[in-house]
A and B are shown apart, each in its own frame.
Chain A
């Protein structure tokens, strides 16, 4: 009887083994695989920094970064899968809705990264299909050289002031999960009427959430309707003349999951690398880049507002999944591209 129970427990342990942190055997197998390809929507300078740091460790596993917007990564993976091409091992984007689809089709597999036991509960999942790597908010902002604090927009409605016509940048939701997420939140709050009026302001359209920052830093446009908080705050730290707008209505919180693909060509390296992504070292690095992480032991840089001090707007993965497509279609109708 006891034997039976032990055998049963062992079987359960073995079955669920892949869902737990990498052990020595995994490490040996990972070294044999030698590389891991990471499909990531994290802005290129941060994502590349993570890969470069990992590669400097000379673990015998090379991290290869493929950076693109959430939507494009999703399409690319499905397209490659259709052709029987498996390149990507680990995926990380800002569209939780996509991860629900991937989970439903068992395209991603459960894995619980090492060291995440004490993580903030909002960053981990019970079934371990994904773990939230980082969170940020979609922040409106302006150029401080060109716009005085007095004139700067204070609320979302201020962006509709005719004096900003042609001087606004809006990011495109088709490519950025961050922007899709933010738009759904704002539509929930203010209705589509807000974007109908915003379209009449003739904003310039850029294709990534972070893409508005360099253009506004240069002064080519004066105000941005929303960018990734971490890009904005990092550029401010570097000395660019920028400042966030924190409207009383709140800011959209975007949490970005990370998963291992079921058909990862380097399944062991994928797990070892995922452990690295959630290690104290990378968590601290992400925090230094002004991102919020699940690890409670990181030190956040000066200038990053604590999440509890921000009035947050948030939607669940199901809502994102449902409203994703209509939001993009409506955006195209309103803004032309």
Chain B
């Protein structure tokens, strides 16, 4: 990265290089970025679009509208769309309420242990949702779920009674909300932190109570963040594959993502049908991201600007402890209970044997560690996460640097290009990559490269936003003053810019590395014998209901994630996960 970047300061307009030389550099940068964008986004989406109008080769080939007719004519394929919309709205709303309330509580009140809540939310943010869903089968299965059994025991109810049934749409909404509300929390917290608490203080002085102030002053001010948070959560619910694969297929209900995958793994060649089916998802997702951009881009709120000064926490009074307990519930449900369920199940010999010493075994761990798929997948997962994190960070850092320092002509389009993939759902991207790179002359299918492309594309926007935010806090004045003091461009870059930029770069690396460890929705369509990753092995094991080995594998994946977080904290400090917008 440094080598690329070191050449860039020489391109600052008005510098020594002649006009021709400047022109050359610009062209090279643009050509490289253009090729990258074509490979990552334009070609897969074009191929997706093309395939949707063609009969599969197994049949006869040729242009057709039949794929669209098949995809949207029958009830069976239409219903998953309706279900997905319902999920998106429900999960978005629940996440909005939970995430926003918790953000307000942490940011504005005298709640005890705010850091515990904050760290708990970040922990649920990095927990693989599919693992959470599997753990919740142990917890809230209709007959044998521990919570149901506990309630039956507590009230002496019959075997027939159950309070929870995770294999229902309500179960899916619940499990999804557990892992999407942190998105709302992060966005709203950032919004709240940007509002000076002066106005709230003023309301307090004028006689408004804690809750009155919250509803009539704070809430309207963070409305754009609330909306953005809702959109993010709803979008995530729409494009999640893991949770519906685990919970809604057994319930006899596909969502759009699981239906899409069913097309892709069908015995018949249904690539055309899958491509047509992916279109509404693509359009909706891009529409949602676009709407969010409009709302966030509207800077109509004069009070929102820069960090507020002193902040006096609102007094919760007698509600302090009850609200704290309420805030802990989602965290216990998202991390503590699932972690406990997976850990204990991973040591059980017989699934029907219960939590007793006689039922203790290390067999599940032995099983996963002597399994070809697992061994290959651990290596691939870590390698891919490192590749994706490094690749995305390099591209993001260079483009952010060019954009911020206005290094080349057209620098204002850098941000657009780097964040272009943001509206493309992972599974749709995977169908596109599949269509584009499984046939000659560009066969990447069967190699880690196709998955690398998927990860890079999926996480580039996140890396760019992080790098960009980090860089925008370094004022060019700093660099300029060093120049005045006599340092040359290279020295300035080496001694001022790089050290200041380093934190943002490391943060963006870790922010890509962690979700890459558990990426599922794209991997599930792209994996092959030698390119398995842990998440797809979990899904493959789940399809055989190998609940014990899955639990052991889940514990392993959580451990790897934990190591990554601890390393992150060590390297960049505990703010690194909240720096993403």
Contacts and interface: CB of A to CB of B under 8 A. Distances in A.
Interface of A: 37, 39, 43-45, 48, 51-52, 64-69, 71-72, 74-76, 78-80, 82-85, 87-88, 98, 143, 145-146, 166-167, 174-175, 202-208, 210-215, 217-222, 238-241, 324-325, 328, 332-333, 335-337
A206 B247 CA distance: 10
Contacts of A202: 252
A285 to B, nearest CB: 16
Nearest to B254: A337
A220 B249 contact: no
Contact of B252 (A78, A87, A335): A335
Contacts of B269: 75, 78-79
A239 B530 CA distance: 35
> Nearest 6 A-B pairs (CB), nearest first?
A336-B252, A211-B545, A207-B543, A66-B529, A214-B545, A218-B351
Given A52-B370, A174-B267, A335-B252, A217 B350 contact: yes
A215 B353 CA distance: 13
B141 A87 contact: no
Nearest to A211: B545
Given A71-B266, A87-B446, A218-B144, A205 B351 contact: no
A285 B350 CA distance: 22
Contacts, number: 153
Contacts of B545: 206, 208, 210-215
Given A174-B267, A211-B545, A222-B143, A48 B372 contact: yes
Given A75-B267, A83-B445, A337-B252, A48 B370 contact: yes
A206 B250 contact: yes
B352 interface: yes
Contacts of A43: 544
B249 A205 contact: yes
Nearest to B440: A84
B406 to A, nearest CB: 43
Contacts of B141: 218, 220
Contacts of A69: 543
B69 interface: no
B74 to A, nearest CB: 9
Given A204-B251, A214-B546, A64 B265 contact: no
Please indicate which of the listed interface residues B159, B250, B268 has the most CB atoms of chain A within 10 Å of its own CB.
B250
A335 B540 CA distance: 21
Given A48-B371, A75-B266, A217-B352, A80 B546 contact: no
A85 B529 contact: no
B253 interface: yes
A91 B495 CA distance: 60
Interface string B540-567: 1101111110000000000000000000
B450 to A, nearest CB: 11
Given A44-B541, A212-B545, A207 B529 contact: no
A37 B443 contact: no
9 contacts: A65-B372, A85-B446, A167-B143, A174-B267, A175-B543, A211-B543, A214-B545, A215-B545, A328-B267
A78 B270 CA distance: 12
Interface in B79-95: 79
Contacts of B528: 76, 80, 85, 87
Given A71-B267, A75-B266, A174-B267, A214 B547 contact: yes
Given A44-B373, A79-B438, 4 more contacts: A39-B529, A64-B530, A83-B440, A146-B143
Contacts of A205: 249-252
Contacts of A206: 250, 543, 545
Contacts of A175: 265, 543
A174 B144 contact: no
Query: Is the contact region of chain A dominated by helix, strand, or loop, or is it mixed?
Result: mixed
B490 interface: no
A67 B144 contact: no
B76 interface: yes
B262 interface: yes
A239 B350 contact: yes
A333 B76 contact: yes
B351 A214 contact: yes
Nearest to B271: A79
A337 B144 contact: no
Contacts of A217: 350-352
Contact of B438 (A71, A83, A213, A240): A83
B250 A83 contact: no
A316 B540 CA distance: 29
A74 B137 contact: no
Contacts of A80: 445-446, 528
A174 B266 contact: yes
B267 A74 contact: yes
A68 B438 contact: no
Given A51-B372, A332-B76, A87 B529 contact: yes
Contacts of B543: 69, 175, 206-208, 211
B167 interface: yes
Contacts of B251: 204-205
Interface string B46-86: 00000000000110000000000000000010010000000
Please indicate which of the listed interface residues A67, A69, A72, A83 has the most CB atoms of chain B within 10 Å of its own CB.
A83
Contacts of B440: 83-84
A332 B543 CA distance: 17
B142 A64 contact: no
Given A71-B267, A336-B253, A240 B546 contact: no
Interface in B133-157: 137, 141-144
A298 B128 CA distance: 45
A85 B443 contact: yes
B443 A218 contact: no
A46 to B, nearest CB: 11
A87 B376 CA distance: 15
B298 interface: no
Contacts of A336: 76, 79, 252-254
A241 B352 contact: yes
A166 B544 contact: no
B367 interface: yes
B21 interface: no
Contact of B547 (A48, A146, A167, A218): A218
A181 to B, nearest CB: 14
A90 B462 CA distance: 43
B352 A204 contact: no
Contacts of B353: 239
A330 to B, nearest CB: 11
B570 interface: no
B537 to A, nearest CB: 10
B250 A204 contact: yes
